[in-house]
Amino acid sequence: MRDDHPTIAVRVEEATLVPDGGPARFVVSGPVPHGDLAAAAAAAGGRAAPAHGRLRLTVAPDAFAAALAASPSSAPVADAVTGAIGRWQAGAPDLVLADGRVLPTSTRTLIQAVLNVTPDSFADGGAHLGPDGDVGPAIEAGRAMVAAGADLVDVGGESTRPGAEPVSVEDELARTVPVVRALAEDGVVVSIDTTKAAVARAAVEAGAAIVNDVSAGALDPQLYPTVAELGVPYVLMHMQGTPRTMQQDPTYDDVVAEVFDHLAVELDRLAAVGVPPERVVVDPGIGFGKTVAHNLALLRHLRDLTSLGRPVLVGASRKSFIGQLSGGLDVAGRLEGSLAAAAVAVAGGARIVRVHDVRESLRAVTIADAIAG
């Protein structure tokens, strides 16, 4: 998280009883007066406790807001709390594309198919890139993914596996733009997986409908302004470090809180440059600068991210933590674990899952959606 931004972030952990007048449990971070908030919680019959530099409160929201009214400096907190609890209760909104098409993230979980046009991605490097850079296999693979049930196809030309080296803009453009154009001409909803403003621009001009950035704008300062100018939805993901360094001893005091606060801050930064929250999807970045324990904590507490009011995307498919939890299985043996992770993500509020195995994932997600209601 970039610490110079005065965002008040409210992460709701539990608010099931609020409609019946019961308490909510939530964590407040940012430039807020902890003493005043704790006093207001006590006055409202609730309680407060410090939590890694933040404040966790358990209190009925209406009574808490009324108690805060006595402290003008705390007034913004009352609005932030009310808004976060309302978003947590409401669920995800739909995602509207620039051309007016609607992705129904309010009613079901969407399947985002991974299409790596790279020689070195961890799961399928080289599978979709022919001799001398021929992208014909990638185009056909993308069409097959849609036929298998993918709602959108995520095209990437640079591996973001741990330890990956960056590639040039020219190479990334050559790999992705023809694939994006061909699939978009078929009517496919295409997202471009890139950290580079120049690639995002070229891909959108070729027909991409969404920019999916693993770096939250940190690797190219022009990416946020470019997305604002293009007017397309943007996937905001958390990553600690860079793909080259991210798995070198990732460390957090509280991974759920830190990921949430990072996303909250970056939502504000995006809004400041002209990307409104309505165009943003949030992604906790499973496997991007996280240990197995970090990934599990984020999946267990995924519902917390719905406090941001945006569709939540989860990409756990075939990742190394699944292999480690399954006794050291390699990528080819991680299907069942990937399906389990996808189902848990749906139960936790994910509205888009990024997957390699489309047909199998669609079946699992359909059942998970039905159970989650």
What confidence tens digit (pLDDT) does each residue in 101-155 have? 999 999 999 999 999 998 866 666 677 877 778 899 999 999 999 999 999 999 9
User: Is the confidence at residue 342, as pLDDT, over 70?
Assistant: yes
User: What value does the mean pLDDT of the chain take?
Assistant: 94
The label of the residue with tokens 């991680």 reads 334
Maximum alpha-carbon separation in the chain? 70
pLDDT, mean of residues 69-98: 92
Q: Which two tokens stand for residue 311?
A: 């569709």
Cα–Cα distance, 47 to 31 (Å, whole number)? 20
Beta-carbon contacts of residue 103 (< 8 Å; ≥ 6 apart):
94, 95, 96, 97, 110, 151, 152, 189
Cα–Cα distance, 136 to 147 (Å, whole number)? 17
**Residue 310 — pLDDT band, cuts 50, 70, 90?**
very high
Parse the chain into domains and list their residue ranges.
9-90, 95-372
User: Is the confidence at residue 234, as pLDDT, over 90?
Assistant: yes
User: Is the confidence at residue 99, as pLDDT, over 90?
Assistant: yes
Residues known to be catalytic: 319, 354
- Reference 196, options 177, 179, 173; nearest CA is 173
pLDDT score recorded for residue 1 = 42
Look at 83-97, 167-181, 239-253 and tell me which has the smallest mean pLDDT.
239-253
Three-state SS for 56? strand
DSSP 90-106: H-PPPEE-TTS-EE-TT
pTM for the structure as a whole: 0.94
Domain at 95-372: CATH architecture: Alpha-Beta Barrel (3.20)
CB 90 within 8 A of CB 308: no
pLDDT score recorded for residue 121 = 65
More confident residue, 258 or 246: 258
Amino acid at the residue 48: A
User: Is the confidence at residue 373, as pLDDT, over 90?
Assistant: no
For the chain, what percent of residues have pLDDT higher than 90? Answer: 86
Q: Which two tokens stand for residue 202?
A: 């070229």
Encode 43-73: b = buried (16+ Cβ within 10 Å), e = exposed: ebebebeeeeebbbbbbbbebbbebbeebee
Cα–Cα distance, 309 to 311 (Å, whole number)? 7
